[in-house]
Structure formats: C-alpha cells, structure tokens
Amino acid sequence: MPKVLLGVSASISAYKAADIISQLKKQNIDVEVIMTDNSTKIIPALTLQVLSKETVHTDVMYEHKPSDINHIDVVKRADLFLVAPATANIIGKIANGIADDMLSTTALAAHDIPKIIAPAMNTYMYTNPAMKRNLTQLEEDGYQIIEPKESLLACGDYGKGALADVDVIVNTVKEKLIKK
C-alpha cells in the first residue's frame, strides 16, 4: 500500500488535513503526518493520529526508537511527500533549505521521492514577489505546486490564497503515485 508523508503547517486551513487523510485512506493510501508546532494549536495532533492510525511527528529532537533518525526514516517509509496546507513560512524555509523544525528538516531529506506542496495564505502574501521566487525555487527543486483557489479568506479579504479543494489535492496525489 502506498504511503504519503503529509506535512501540516499553521494555516487556518490546517483543519482540512483531517479530510485529506480521510480521503487518502479511503483510496487505500497510508498517511504518516508531520505537524509544525503552531499547526497543533489549530488542530490537535491527536485528531490526525486517530485518522491516520500513525504517530504524528512534531519534534525533530524526539526519536521514537533510539536506533532511528526520525526525520530520515519517515522519508524512507514514504512514497510521496505532501505539504498541505503550506504557509508562507514553511514555503520560505523549504525553498531556502532552512531546517529548524521537524517539517522543514524532513523536507530537506525528501529529495528522492515525489513532492507536492499546496500553499494557503492571504492573497497579499501569496502574490508577494518573495513568495513567487520561493515557489519558483520549489518547482526547480522538483515540487509540484497545487495552486490555491480564489475565495473569501479567513481575514475577510477576497483573492487567491485559499487552500485548493481537498478533492483536487487527493487527485493530484493519486496521479503522482500512479506515475511513480
């Protein structure tokens, strides 16, 4: 059974990770989850652990087994790396090789498997030239970008920046796994 390594960062849409996991599991795709510390303030790690039936990883310094190097071993178990939702912060870290938490450190190790990233942020952040540079860098590094949709955003602004629909994310994952 294929396994997706799902990275969840601290967008207000982090709660949609629960639906992503559920939909992937219905497609017989296992999911292992990495959450940033701030994302656990939006949706509890326990929720995603129950849905995925896997340990949720949040701390790069915590090794579940002394013989493991967790941020390396989770990649070795995965067939695909997905970050959804991806905030401006995590996109900037990954694009620039910054590895200072479990998600960004694991992303640096995930260069030999297919990678997908689904941005979610305010439209002003999404259209910022720095964000465009970071997304271009991620594409050059082999990431497939799932464009955010235009919508009324959590802040009340309307524009491009909302996380793509869950079915779009799940279908993109399925297509990428088939091509692998």
Query: Counting beta carbons within 10 angstroms of the beta carbon of residue 99, is it exposed (0 to 12), middle (13 to 18) or buried (19 or more)?
Result: middle
Mean pLDDT value across the chain: 94
Q: Is the pLDDT of residue 36 over 80?
A: yes
- Confidence class of residue 63 from pLDDT cuts 50, 70 and 90? low
Helix (H) or strand (E) holding 25: helix 16-26
- Distance, first Cα to last Cα, the chain: 13
| Domains, the chain, ordered by start | 3-179 (3.40.50.1950)
Query: For position 129, what pLDDT does the model report?
Result: 98
Q: Is the pLDDT of residue 138 over 70?
A: yes
Query: For position 157, what pLDDT does the model report?
Result: 81
Query: For position 46, what pLDDT does the model report?
Result: 98
Any catalytic annotation for residue 155? Answer: yes
Compute CA distances 151 → 82, 97, 129, 179, whole Å: 22, 30, 21, 31
Question: Rounded to two decimals, what is the model's pTM?
Answer: 0.95
Query: For position 156, what pLDDT does the model report?
Result: 81
Mind listing the pLDDT tens digit for each residue in 9-19? 999 999 999 99
Are 82 and 6 in contact, with CB atoms under 8 Å apart? Answer: yes
Mind listing the pLDDT tens digit for each residue in 77-125? 999 999 999 999 999 999 999 999 999 999 999 989 999 999 999 999 9
Query: For position 100, what pLDDT does the model report?
Result: 95
Asked, as a colleague might, if the bond just before 129 is cis with ω within 30 of 0, I would say: no
Which of 155, 157, 158, 175 is flagged as catalytic? 155
Query: For position 61, what pLDDT does the model report?
Result: 76
Helix (H) or strand (E) holding 91: helix 88-95
Tell me whether strands 158-162 and 115-119 are parallel, antiparallel or unpaired.
unpaired
Query: For position 146, what pLDDT does the model report?
Result: 98
Q: Is the pLDDT higher at 166 or at 158? A: 166
